[in-house]
Amino acid sequence: MAQQVREIMTPAPVTVESLTPLSEVAHRMRDEDLGAVLVIEHDELCGLVTDRDIVVRVLAEDKDPADTTAQSVCSPDLVTVTPDEDVGRAVQLMREHALRRLPEGKTAVGVISLGDLAIERDPESALGDISSAPPNK
């Protein structure tokens, strides 16, 4: 079983610049089969945008996705981990803050998700099975 976050995190996550229009973010999510992208500004992590953020903070508010930036809807106060941290610490942070994803530090080197944890710790569970399945097309 993996001991450090680096062993199970998704490396090189998809990032977008803070001023990227949400319409472009949504296209990236669709094309790369993602539920979230990291938002960067000046090469530093400044937020996370999920598909739910787009629906709740843009579409449900009747905002135009082409005129709304990633920075304006992202979750900016991120809880993060480092690749060297213990996986148990990542689990603790996810539980404590009710998170589905934890980015790595300030440089967006990786992300650890509930799916990553399920595949590593309980691959026979429903979540582990779903997380390891190929994407729906």
Name the helix (H) or strand (E) containing 50: strand 44-50
pLDDT score for 122: 62
pLDDT score for 10: 86
Residue with tokens 């996810």: 94
Q: Which of 73, 61, 76 is nearest to 24 (CA)?
A: 73
Residues 25, 96: Cα–Cα separation, whole Å: 28
C-beta neighbour count of 93 within 10 angstroms: 16
Digitized pLDDT (tens) for each residue of the chain, 137 residues in all: 668 988 888 888 899 999 999 999 999 999 998 889 999 999 899 999 999 999 999 999 999 999 999 999 998 889 999 989 999 999 999 999 999 999 987 788 889 988 888 877 665 665 555 565 566 55
pLDDT score for 135: 60
Q: What predicted TM-score, i.e. pTM, was given to this entire model?
A: 0.83
In the sheet that 110-113 helps form, which strands lie side by side, from edge to edge?
10-11, 110-113, 101-103
pLDDT score for 19: 97
pLDDT score for 116: 81
C-beta neighbour count of 115 within 10 angstroms: 18
Residues 84, 111: Cα–Cα separation, whole Å: 13
Q: Which of 134, 79, 135, 136 is nearest to 112 (CA)?
A: 79
pLDDT score for 48: 93
